[in-house]
Amino acid sequence: MSEPTNTAAAPAGRRGVAAKRAPDDTDRRLINALQGEFPLTGNPFADIGAALGLAEAEVIARLQSLLDDRVLTRFGPMFQIERMGGAFCLAAIAVPEARWAEVVEAVNAFPEVAHNYRREHALNMWFVLATETREGIAECARRIEAATGLAVHLFPKEREYFVEMRLEA
């Protein structure tokens, strides 16, 4: 079984921390409404609020509370980084069990690291590197190797698929 060890774009010091509370029914409706077709208008949170029967200020406050309480770990757009000159790459490390917590902390300290998961495999830590340039992937991998003393295995994307993922809250 896999268990996440961090999530993309979480501020430093908050990565890998479990949610402090469960979402209530209004939170769940808001989470569901925020996925997919986010309104590109002058007042998107007011538009979402109107659809849910909430004031704009309540939508913003609830969203901030969901982030602060780690119910949500990230809220923001997803970009096709390659079109902007950047790169993504799947990476993996074989981490000795006795060093797991230490290596998680070291790897998660890199802002380029996202979607870090523990796997039942010889390569038991898998994560995604996101960098501003293609060359940044190898450079970040070298920095992680220097910080951990462990080899980083890179698995570059060969083909791209679009899978719209919406999670029912």
Give the structural domain span for 93. Answer: 79-155
- Residues 150 and 98 both lie in one domain: yes
On whether the CB atoms of residues 157 and 89 are closer than 8 A, the answer is yes
What is the SS3 assignment for 76? Answer: coil
Residue 115 covered by a domain: yes
pTM here is 0.59
Q: Give, for 50, the enclosing helix (H) or strand (E).
A: helix 44-52
pLDDT at 82: 79
DSSP state of 18: P
Query: Residue 4: beta bridge partners?
Result: 117
CA dihedral 67, 71, 76, 81 (to 10 degrees): 120
Q: How far apart are CA 88 and CA 45, in angstroms?
A: 30
Q: How many CA atoms lie within 13 A of 73 on its CB side?
A: 18
- Residues 63 and 104 both lie in one domain: no
Q: How far apart are CA 15 and CA 77, in angstroms?
A: 19
Report CA 92 to chain centroid distance, whole Å: 16
- Residues 98 and 139 both lie in one domain: yes
Instruction: Give the count of beta carbons closer than 10 Å to the beta carbon of residue 73.
Output: 19
Nearest to 38 by CA among 26, 27, 29, 47: 47
- Residues 116 and 145 both lie in one domain: yes
- Residues 84 and 63 both lie in one domain: no
- Residues 36 and 93 both lie in one domain: no
pLDDT digits (tens, 9 = 90+) for 10-45: 334 444 557 899 999 999 999 999 987 889 999 999
Cα-based angle 91, 97, 98 (whole degrees, multiple of 5): 125
pLDDT digits (tens, 9 = 90+) for 119-139: 999 999 999 999 999 899 999
Residue 167 covered by a domain: no
Q: 100 or 4: whose pLDDT is higher?
A: 100
Count of domains for the chain: 2
pLDDT at 3: 40
pLDDT at 7: 34
pLDDT at 37: 82
